[in-house]
Amino acid sequence: MTQLTDNIAKFAKLRAMSLQEVALKAGLSKNIIYRWRLQGANPSPASITAIADALHVKKSDLTGEKESTEEKQTVDLKAQIADQQVIMTYEGKEIPKEDLELIKRILRG
């Protein structure tokens, strides 16, 4: 559990909080995080969530796990290119109109 406790300590430090303050704010006993660190204990998911809430971070920020609830967004590229209100960019630079026309021709096949 060193990654978890190290991440808790990192975010606590960023918020100028002690580990005891974090634990108390999460509604846990004040020395629980120290015990996890020393004993290599496996905290419950509810405890990890409470600490994440106390630190105003995502649970995955503490555990190092990737979140599986990511929603993929679909974009109708044809509609976006046709919309004159949308500014198309690539690497932070606006795509010139003539290049957009070329992209349209490539997409049409």
Q: Would you state the torsion angle of the CA atoms of residues 48, 50, 54, 60, taken in this order, to the nearest 10 degrees?
A: 40
Domain ranges of the chain: 2-63, 77-108
Structure tokens at 17: 């909080």
What is the percentage of the chain residues whose pLDDT exceeds 90? Answer: 32
pLDDT tens-digit readout, 22-38 = 999 999 999 999 998 88
pLDDT value at residue 71:
67
Neighbouring C-beta atoms of residue 77, cutoff 10 Å: 12
pTM greater than 0.85: no
Helix (H, G, I), strand (E, B) or coil at 54: helix
Q: How far apart are CA 109 and CA 100, in angstroms?
A: 14
User: Which CATH number fits the domain 2-63, given the four candidates 1.20.990.10, 1.10.260.40, 3.30.1330.200, 3.40.50.10490?
Assistant: 1.10.260.40
Helix (H, G, I), strand (E, B) or coil at 52: helix
pLDDT at 75 over 80: no
- Residues 47/26, Cβ–Cβ less than 8 Å: yes
